[in-house]
Amino acid sequence: MPSRGVLGPVSFLSRGVPPGMPATPVPNTLYRENVVKAWGKADTVGGVTDSFNVTSVTDTGAGALTWTWNTDLGSSTYAIIPGNESAAATSDKIDNATGPTAGACLHHVLTTTTGALTDPNFYFILVVGDQ
């Protein structure tokens, strides 16, 4: 039996996630707005190795991968946390020239020394926002 104030798996599933956050969110409480909407891991050639709500990934060139969501987000203003696994020193960014859309985003990996696009061993993504 879960301790007081802690939801176990069955009670969480039966109660669901509240429909919206109050003006002042309650600490340690799940709301639709703060639940992860998509996450994924993809290899350098665009193969998805593990994911949630990722329909596909497209290798769009060296150091560039487009993530496409199975269920679109509510707008293009969601939070995106990109990452990568690489032996070289790199940084990640979401392309802002095209900008994310409700249904996809373009992930870039760059070398920290020259800023050139470079392929990592793996790409990672985490998405939170309204859906």
Measured CA to CA, the distance from residue 16 to residue 19 in angstroms comes to 9
Beta-bridge mates of residue 84: 123
Q: CA of 62: how far to CAs of 12, 66, 78, 107, 109, in Å?
A: 42, 12, 25, 11, 8
Residue-wise pLDDT for 27-83, tens only, equals 888 887 788 999 999 998 889 999 999 999 999 999 999 999 999 999 999 999 999
- What are the structure tokens assigned to 52, written together? 């949630």
In the predicted model, is pLDDT for residue 8 greater than 70? Answer: no
Question: What's the pLDDT score for residue 93?
Answer: 96
Q: Does domain 35-128 have CATH number 2.60.120?
A: no
* CB contact set of 60 (below 8 Å; sequence gap of 6+): 66, 106
In the predicted model, is pLDDT for residue 19 greater than 80? Answer: no
- Domain range annotation of the chain: 35-128
> Residue 123, class by beta-carbon neighbours within 10 Å (0-12 exposed, 13-18 middle, 19+ buried)?
buried
